[in-house]
Every structure is written in structure tokens, then in C-alpha cells.
Amino acid sequence: MFEPWEIDLHGHTVVYRMMGDGPPVVLIHGMVNSSRHWRGVAERLAERYTVIAPDLVGHGDSATPRGDYSLGAHATVIRDLLSALGIERSTIVGHSLGGGVAMIFFWQFPERVERLALLSSGGLGEQVSPLLRSAALPGFRRALGVIANRPVLRALRAGGVQTRNVARALGPLETRGARDAFVQTLRSVIDRHGQRVSANDRLYLLDGVPTLIAWGDRDRTIPMEHGLAAHRAVSSSRFVTIPGAAHFPHIEKPEAVAAALGDFIETTEPVSLDETTWRAVLRGRSVARPRAVA
């Protein structure tokens, strides 16, 4: 069963779901999502793998403290969760914001990553939907408090199909802590111009690392071209299109996402990076030289 567990990390509750048996696979969700949104994928992967899906801090049922909601902070909490669970190395999978977290996790803790899978990932280009850009504008936090509160959501849930869909999207932001965490997380990666954090300058570090890039062919939130460009930049990557899916393929087409992930894992060898290997990768692109003194 894909049931929640909780653990105390640094004085804050972190909720996660874990099921299955076999090589570990970590599923990292995006904004206004949680571990429960991976259910359809996790239940299929759990036949062959140990699946771990955390609720990022500020999301789902995890704590919503006033603090750091940067990609690096999320990655560090996942590292600490995996350490507490006794998981040293795993395949890391990230969707949207979670793709950015997954890449930062790899940059920070390369020795813990066997493979990397990015699903409709952020952090690969500037373009993003106008809705997300507007959410980074001043005043959005106050407007969100007016829209995403219990009385309004209750009224929306009692309406037609479209209003119920709106209520379902806003439901995770019902509490003030969740709304604050959402805004802080979003503004750490997006401003009025678009995505402000990019991994493109260090995609070369993924050469030799088994990498899957998958995208819904109807995605209007983050352009598929971002993923195709990353695929061209990473020689060890493969690209998969999820037909009929928009920005949430793991929810819309879980069977196709699980099949793509399963095939990717089964047909690639896990990489093992130690400090010596990582140093060689960095030195291969970086040349240390004396700095001229004026």
C-alpha cells in the first residue's frame, strides 16, 4: 500500500510514502503536488523496485516552516531522509520543480545518484506559462489568500466540473503555511520574466550518467523544446514523449510513465561516482590558472 509515513528531520515533520522491494527509486513531485500524486506510477514500479516518494517541505503533509525553500534546501532534506532510511544510492526521478530538485541533488550529492530521470522538468530554459510568471508578481500572495481559503474552496467544490477542477488545483493551498511555502518556492525559481534558475551551464556533468528526459506532448506549461535541447546536450540521455499528456504525465498517463521508467532502469547500468571521478569530470572542463593581479 502507498501509505504515508513521517519522520522528524531537524525539528520538522517530513512525510513520505514507500513501497515495493528492489533497487531504490526516488520520486520527487513538483509545485502544488505531493507524494500521493505518484500513486499510479509507484504502484506499478513497486513490483520490481523500492519506491520512495517524499512530500517536499512546504508541500503535501510535510511541515510548512518559515525558512529556506530553494532547490538546494529541498535536495538536502531528501538526502537526509534517504540517509535516515538507510538508502545510499538510488535512481532519482523529478517532475517539474522536482526535476530541478533532482538535478541539484545530483550536483550536490553525485555519489548518491545511479540514474537521473526528468519528467516535464523545470530548470532547462527560461520560458514558462504566463500563469506561473504572474504568480511571481507582487501582490499574488494576498490574492491567493482571498481565492484559496476554505469558504471559497467549499463553494467551488459545490459547483460544476470546471469549478471543481479549480478547487482541486487550489486545494493544497488551503492553509496559510502552504500558501506561503508555495510562493516562496515559486519565487526561488521563477520571476516575471520566466524561469530564473537554469541547469544548462552544467548539463555536461551528466555525460556518462544514464539520463531519461520525458515530456507530455501536450505540455503548455514548460515547452518540450527545453527537454529536447537538454537531450541534445547530454550524450548519455534518451528522450521519451508521453502521448496525450500535458504537464502532469505521471497523473494523466501513469502507465506510460511507469513503463518508460521501468524500461530505462532495466536497460541501463547504474553509474557510481566517487570524489576522484567527480574531480576528473570537473577538471575536464575547468582549467585552473593564476589570476592576474592589477
Which of the residues are catalytic?
Answer: 96, 219, 247
Instruction: Indicate the burial class of 77 (C-beta count within 10 angstroms; 0-12, 13-18, 19 or more).
Output: buried
> SS in 3 state form for 231-267?
HHHCCCEEEEEECCCCCCHHHHCHHHHHHHHHHHHHC
The helix/strand/coil state of 28 is strand
Question: How far apart are alpha carbons 280 and 273 in whole angstroms?
Answer: 10
- DSSP helix, strand, coil percent of the chain (3-state; round to 5): 45, 20, 35
Query: How far apart are the C-alpha atoms of 114 and 269, rounded to whole Å?
Result: 8
Q: From residue 1, how far is each of 35, 139, 177 by CA, in Å?
A: 13, 41, 29
Q: If we measure between CA atoms, which residue out of 57, 91, 103 comes closest to residue 77? A: 57
Burial class (CB in 10 A: 0-12, 13-18, 19+), 240: buried
Q: Are 264 and 117 in contact (CB under 8 A)?
A: yes
Residues 74, 56: Cα–Cα separation, whole Å = 7
Q: Which three cell numbers stand for residue 43?
A: 504502484
Antiparallel, parallel or unpaired: β 50-54 and 4-9: unpaired
Using CA atoms, how far apart are residues 54 and 78, in angstroms rounded to an integer?
Answer: 7
